[in-house]
Chains A and B, each alone.
Chain A
Amino acid sequence: MPDHDVLVIGAGLAGQRAALAAAEHGVSVGIISKVHPIRSHSNAAQGGINAALAVDDSWESHAFDTIKGSDYLSDQDAVEIMCREAPNELLHLEHIGVTFHRNEKGELGTRAFGGASHARTYYVADITGQAIMHTLYEQLMKYADLIDRYEEWFTTELALDEDGNCVGAVTRNIKDGSMELFRAKAVILASGGNGQIWHPTTNALICTGDGIAMAYRAGAKLMDMEMIQYHPTTLRGKGFLITEGARGEGAHLLNAKGERFMEKYAPNKMELASRDVVSRAEQTEINEGRGFPDGTVALDITVVPRKRIHEALREIVLVGRDFAGVDITREPIHIKPGNHYTMGGIKTDIWGRTDVKGLYAAGEAACVSVHGGNRLGANSLLDTLIFGRRSGEDAAKHAAGRGIDRVSRTVLEQEERRVQAIIGRERSGRRVSEIKAELGETMDSKVAVFRDEEGIQSALDTVRRLKEEADGAWIDDRGTIFNQDVLGALELQNMLQQAEATCMAALERKESRGAQFRTDYPERNDEEWLKHIDVSLNGDGPELSYSPVTITDWQPQERTY
């Protein structure tokens, strides 16, 4: 039974940053990940990371852009912290080795990004997330004697004591199928978003929101679950991402008639309006027949100088060539809005604390909330690092001076039985993969850019049926070693619980704000809906409640770009 002061679940940017911060405070740390840490999805963050570091920029300006971008649903105290602490965090990353782009003077250089009033996005070509995450992993190597790594361990459930405090987690070693109860004084969930609930999505196959579902089952509240970001530039069918950096470098969006249609929707910021605005504009063009026959519009990167494309958008050149057969330096590439980011998640305070004592959350799994109704590009890396670090620090303080509790092994036995039951299921009913496919298509057609009551209700009905079917869904693999089949079944259960919460919240919010656009309630309604919707698990079903939005200096205004 491995014991740690602080146990981190998930090893992308938020998890690794949390582990390093906790270790710096002198506590023992364990970090668990269902994949090797550098396979985590933070890799996919291409464009960059925001920080008001330039002398003519200010954190207040960054905060205002973030709050406006969020459609005033973000909690402004949290946004202030993120934007104030961004410059120091960025310099820390530079000091430990991230190879950020430099200007001709050898100083850190920036690029423009959507929804921002200043070019404050720092970047490494278009592999910023990868560059930062590999650098953090290097630090895990450096501090290997302080941080124990459990690579390719799948956490199935949190362990609670009699008072409902989180005291550890049950985890399956994928390599041999053995299950362990890890004891800890504090547990940090940094296990990412849940894009796999939608199909297609830009998200990796591992993005099943396991941590969100485990926290929900442990009694933590989920918040803003209806806020799902559709990224404006993804490849049709496959969902691959074309970075916002392309538009930051000057690329245009064109409809099938060759018109730069953003003139109509955001005459000032054009292609660099907030993502929700651009995605809706594209979807409107497509729906009204001005898209291409394959249901897309075009992103024209050829207006960017070729040398600059090769230097700053290298990954996109490869994505275009390998996955769309398009040379983006010569011709426009067809794109459409695609599922991208979970703004909502496990409700936390500014130190990453959830409603469950001893349980923390950070990164895309968490909802602080700094993104509110819509996240600005290049704010997600920042969110993971700032609140990853803060969770690590606070969890270390929480753990220091506490004894490790006796933890009942009941949860371990219960989880072993649950996994074994899936492995032993009769071959009747549906395959796990079929249910997952139906879930993805349902959510992408009904809980996407434009929504209405009828569609969301029908999605909710489908999700509830799928939940029942999933309880009996069968798998092929009966083994213990690298049984990925059984993990898929566990992930499916997690996804369905979250999908239900998302549908409930989307149905409840009878207004249009940020990523939630209700065609039956097309206006923002601050009087009734300037509040968060929380979802918690009551018995077997979800229960809704509200919590206030924290407003400090920025009163809601009309939002134009």
Chain B
Amino acid sequence: MAEYTLKVRRFQPEATDEDKRGAYWDNFDVELDPTLSVLDGLLQARDGEDGSLAVRCSCRAAICGSCGVKINGQSTLACKTQIGEAAEEAERKADGESTTSETGKPEIVIEPMGNMPVIKDLVVDMESTHWEKYRRVTPWLMPSGPPPEREYIVSAEAMVDVTQSVACIQCGSCVSACLSMEADPDFIGPAALAKAYRFVGDPRDGQTTERLYDLANDQHGIYDCTHCFSCIDACPKGVAPMNQIMRLRRLAGHDHDIQDVNNGRNHELAFVKNIEKKGTLDESLLLQESFAPGIKGKLLPTIRSMKGLIESIPTAIRGIRTGKMRSVPKLIPGVHHKLPGDAQDHVKRIYDKTEESRIELNLYVIGEGGEEEGAPGAEGVRAEDITAAAQAEEVTPS
């Protein structure tokens, strides 16, 4: 048994007390075994101290997905976070800061999930946000033609592959953590896009191309993701939503050759080409290459590409102002600095190597922790993420 202080972000919509109007912080002292969960702590506070403390919860075992919250700033499930570990994390974060309670112990900070409106305390409105996005991806199987007499014959690997997305419990942790959604609330988002992959990757579905076309051309679709990894960190079930989004992009752009209205595919290719050529990002070429790729694009830009370029000017200016684009001279083609020594050759070699195969990693079945158990074709990729029975699917390169 140990003592902990839970610092809970509360909102009581019907509060009449002056100090409880709007959101406020409330501390609860609880005493429990360090191996129990933050949810157990919250329930102890609710059962013993304040029954009006609202938090959705049910299974206590990271299966039902009810108790998504932010703990010390990280989106996760309250039932899956051990309270002892949360306290250690709070201590690390509090180092040098003044977030300790009166008793001198670090406070475990618990807040409602982000990107969703708060209804009461830790309960957020998932219906108008998460579930609405879920419904946007036509979330049911659409086979072509009537079903067979027995089962569909499909490969074991294909079923395991989509089972990574099927493992999603719709807890909303990834939605809460999504940085792109903070910038664009209409972004379909990590959970719904992982759901979309569940159907796109299912050989029984008959609408693969149509689904990909819609997802690529949606202004808030697959190209809205900025590749920040937050959803992978937040997901309690190893769904790795961002990986599913990247797979959707490869399927849409590469395998189905979908030229999307968002120019997402070309932008991505421009990025890859740019780094291959220069070693680091050359902003002066990126925009032009994104909208009007190659020599043909330079000599004979289409109206669409011109329009796209012009529309990007405000973004470029904002980039310069905020320091994201490093300096104005760097925007002049050719001024981009060269990498020192033979660094450029190293970059090139990475490209040569990675072009040999395309590896689809299924984190669902490989577990975590660095155990070598022969993941074919997975050498050279970060070992802590991919181990054991990596589901490796090799595809001929372009």
Contacts and interface: CB of A to CB of B under 8 A. Distances in A.
A322 interface: yes
A39 B58 contact: yes
A106 B157 CA distance: 9
Given A36-B126, A310-B388, A488-B51, A141 B135 contact: yes
Contacts of B123: 482
Given A99-B163, A307-B388, A476 B50 contact: yes
Given A141-B135, A307-B373, A100 B60 contact: no
Nearest to B169: A130
Residue of A99, A131, A175, A483 contacting most chain B CB atoms (<10 Å): A99
A431 interface: yes
A319 B61 contact: yes
Contacts of A481: 13-14, 119-120
B29 to A, nearest CB: 17
A106 B388 contact: no
A125 B202 CA distance: 16
A324 B58 CA distance: 19
A238 interface: yes
Interface string B170-183: 10000000000000
B154 interface: yes
Contacts of A325: 35
B46 to A, nearest CB: 8
A484 interface: yes
Interface string B330-369: 0000000000000000000000000000000000111100
A131 B365 contact: no
B389 A485 contact: no
A479 B12 contact: yes
Contacts of A103: 156
Given A95-B147, A131-B166, A485 B51 contact: yes
Interface string A452-470: 0000000000000000000
Contact of B66 (A35, A95, A317, A323): A35
Contact of A102 (B47, B63, B154, B166): B154
B14 A479 contact: yes
A206 B66 CA distance: 11
A51 to B, nearest CB: 11
A99 B202 CA distance: 9
B140 interface: yes
Given A97-B140, A141-B135, A476-B50, A205 B60 contact: yes
B389 A310 contact: yes
B151 A433 contact: no
Nearest to A202: B61
A482 B153 contact: no
Interface string A261-278: 000000000000000000
A479 B13 CA distance: 9
B328 interface: no
A124 B344 CA distance: 47
Contacts of B169: 38, 43, 130
A135 B367 CA distance: 25
B150 interface: yes
B64 interface: yes
Interface in A132-190: 134-135, 138-139, 141-142, 151, 175
A319 to B, nearest CB: 7
A100 B141 contact: no
A553 interface: no
A477 interface: yes
A311 interface: yes
B140 to A, nearest CB: 4
Contacts of A131: 163, 166
A204 B127 contact: no
A130 B151 contact: no
B113 to A, nearest CB: 14
A417 interface: no
A91 B140 contact: no
A484 B52 CA distance: 7
A102 B159 contact: yes
Contacts of A130: 63, 166-167, 169
A43 B64 CA distance: 6
B59 A204 contact: yes
A418 interface: no
Nearest to A100: B159
A527 interface: no
B168 to A, nearest CB: 8
B166 A124 contact: yes
A219 interface: no
A316 to B, nearest CB: 11
Contact of B156 (A104, A139, A175): A104
Contacts of B50: 476
A465 B369 CA distance: 52
B306 interface: no
Contacts of B162: 99
B152 A142 contact: no
A43 B60 CA distance: 12
A318 interface: yes
A238 B60 contact: yes
A204 B60 contact: yes
A95 B143 CA distance: 8
Nearest to B57: A205
A307 B14 contact: no
A168 to B, nearest CB: 25
A480 B60 CA distance: 25
Interface string B110-122: 0000000001100
Interface of B: 12-14, 35-36, 46-48, 50-52, 54, 56-66, 80, 82, 119-120, 123, 126-127, 135, 139-141, 143, 147-148, 150-156, 159-160, 162-163, 166-167, 169-170, 202, 204, 238, 364-367, 371, 373, 388-389
29 contacts: A35-B58, A38-B64, A43-B63, A44-B61, A44-B64, A106-B153, A107-B153, A109-B156, A130-B166, A130-B169, A131-B166, A138-B140, A141-B135, A204-B59, A205-B58, A238-B60, A306-B371, A306-B388, A310-B365, A323-B35, A323-B61, A433-B46, A433-B51, A475-B51, A476-B50, A479-B52, A481-B13, A485-B51, A488-B51
Given A131-B163, A134-B166, A310-B389, 19 more contacts: A94-B151, A97-B140, A102-B155, A107-B151, A125-B167, A127-B166, A135-B141, A138-B141, A151-B127, A240-B61, A311-B389, A314-B167, A314-B364, A431-B51, A479-B14, A480-B14, A483-B52, A485-B51, A485-B52
